[in-house]
Amino acid sequence: MAMQFSFKRSFLLSLLLPIALVLGGCQSTEERIVELKAKAEKGDVAAMVELGEIFYGAQMVDWSDTEGAKWMKMAAEKGNAKAQHMMGIAYSKGLGVPIDRVEAHKWAFLSSCKGFVESAKSMKDIEATMSVKEVQQAKNIEKQFEGCTNKTF
């Protein structure tokens, strides 16, 4: 279990490290969180994504996968491809949300539709862990998004 935890954290940190470097200015993390929450609550998708990244462990705050998933999902629902990709990872690994491979596949698919290249690999990885029934459910969900263009898979 400890190895899996370490892998999940390492994987997320490798994805989110760039944001840590950007936020390395004079403002404290706590001040930045307050600022970002105010923006996110007004619908700022970029602020939602950044909050999700902070709470998923990219910054020196208490890790909170649930809080990270909350903000990422809000941004994903507003159509942000990066957030959709992250929700695919979250649902496939159980990071702040229950493991749900069909839901993970849906978010990876939506991100791929927007050209987020990493999501195509995520979709294949997720599909490799799915049952036949789950794959069929995922394919049925894809049909709901027939307007999907710019697929990366």
C-beta separation of 59 from 91 below 8 A:
no
Domain count along the chain: 1
In this prediction, residue 44 carries a pLDDT of: 96
Asked if residue 148 is part of any domain, the answer here is: no
In this prediction, residue 43 carries a pLDDT of: 95
Asked if residue 138 is part of any domain, the answer here is: yes
Asked if residue 122 is part of any domain, the answer here is: yes
Asked if residue 121 is part of any domain, the answer here is: yes
Asked if residue 81 is part of any domain, the answer here is: yes
* Domain housing 74: 9-143
Asked if residue 104 is part of any domain, the answer here is: yes
Distance in angstroms (rounded) separating the CA atoms of residues 111 and 81: 5
Asked if residue 1 is part of any domain, the answer here is: no
Mean pLDDT by runs of 10 across the 153 residues of the chain is 49 53 62 92 95 74 79 95 95 94 96 91 94 95 79 59
Asked if residue 130 is part of any domain, the answer here is: yes
Tell me, what CATH number does 62's domain have?
A: 1.25.40.10
